[in-house]
Amino acid sequence: MKTFDAVVASAERFVLGEGPVWDAARRRLLWVDIEDGAVLIGRLDGDSVQVDQRLDFDGTVGAVAVDADGQLLVAAQRELVRIELDGSRSPVVGHIADDEPRRLNDGKTDPAGRFLIGSCPKAERMNDEWLKRLELDGTVTTIDSDVGLSNGLAWSCDGSRFYSIDSFRHVVWVRDYDPATGAVGERSKFVRIEDGYPDGMCSDAEDHLWIAVYGRGEVRRYSPEGNLVAVVRVAALQTTSVAFAGSGRDILVITTASRGLTPEELIEYPDSGRIFTARVDVQSAEVSPWVPVSSD
């Protein structure tokens, strides 16, 4: 099994960094600080990440996606919001999260450019969180409605296998997926991670998954058969998500969190909340931009 060490990439520390996205067309990196209610936009400088812009929201921010022209889709606390090139904002879907104590969490575009978004409980865990998909015509489809905490999403290179994480159940699910029609098959367990919480993930060009394991300070690489084949060690206990970035799509960007750590843990992990990067000798799979909802 291969082992890699991540390096600190950002000077800034974030409360709950999440959801990195590489916008190749504009050579910029986007991610969110969920509990600080911000979308961050930055750039890679070698293995370092420099913050160029911050977009603030009232409440939490779960995820961000970018379309081919550079417009953003932001999962705010309860609704999906479009940010146009001039900075103007408008709701894409109003109040996709209902009045129950939950918020929007991790999200990602599928191979056809549809946006999938999951929910996170803000109170008692009831295993009634959901995973939904914003269709190209603006309607919303519910894929799962019995999730403990919906988190990372990924697809195989050909789009035929769809992976999703339920962090509270410690499970990565897999199912058949048809990018052309959006048809989704029955889910089955791909891998269970008991010694930490599987959080965000991405796939690479060899159809392996890279999964951030919250509470372990690791990113783990799994083969298509579910075998653990590599580990990236991160000097931050709460690793939250991953994405490949850079002109070669070969720099693994890792977000982490600083929230909830004890004073002793902060002494042991002083870089908690920073962005990390790692060179892991593989490129990412192709990532599709978000396709804005049709106005027809």
Q: Is 175 exposed, middle or buried (0-12, 13-18, 19+ CB in 10 A)?
A: middle
Residue 291 lies in a domain: no
Catalytic residue among 144, 166, 199, 204: 199
For 272-290, what is the mean pLDDT?
A: 95
CATH of the domain at 80: 2.120.10.30
| pTM for the structure as a whole | 0.96
The domain in which residue 27 lies consists of 2-279
Q: Across the chain, what does the average pLDDT equal?
A: 95
Residue 199: active-site member: yes
Residue 293 lies in a domain: no
Residue 284 lies in a domain: no
- pLDDT band of residue 293 (cuts 50, 70, 90) is confident
Q: Are 216 and 239 in contact (CB under 8 A)?
A: yes
Give the per-residue pLDDT at 100.
77
Distance, in Å, from the CA atom of 211 to the CA atom of 279, rounded to the nearest integer, reads: 15
Residue 292 lies in a domain: no
Give the per-residue pLDDT at 295.
53
User: What is the tens place of the pLDDT at every residue in 202-243?
Assistant: 999 999 999 999 999 999 999 999 999 999 999 999 999 999
Residue 198 lies in a domain: yes
Report which of 117, 22, 38 is spatially closest to residue 83, judged by C-alpha positions.
38
Question: According to the 3-state scheme, what is the secondary structure of 104-169?
Answer: EEEEEECCCCCEEEEEEECCCCCCCEEEEEECCCCCEEEEEEEECCEEEEEECCCCCEEEEEECCC
How many domains, in total, are found in the chain?
Answer: 1
Residue 180 lies in a domain: yes
Tokens (6 digits) for 281: 């000798």
Proportion of the chain in helix, strand, coil states, percent, rounded to 5: 5, 55, 45
Greatest CA separation for the chain: 56
Please enumerate in sequence order all residues whose Cβ is within 8 A of that of 135, keeping only pairs 6 or more positions apart, or say none. 114, 141, 182
Residue 111 lies in a domain: yes
- pLDDT band of residue 150 (cuts 50, 70, 90) is very high
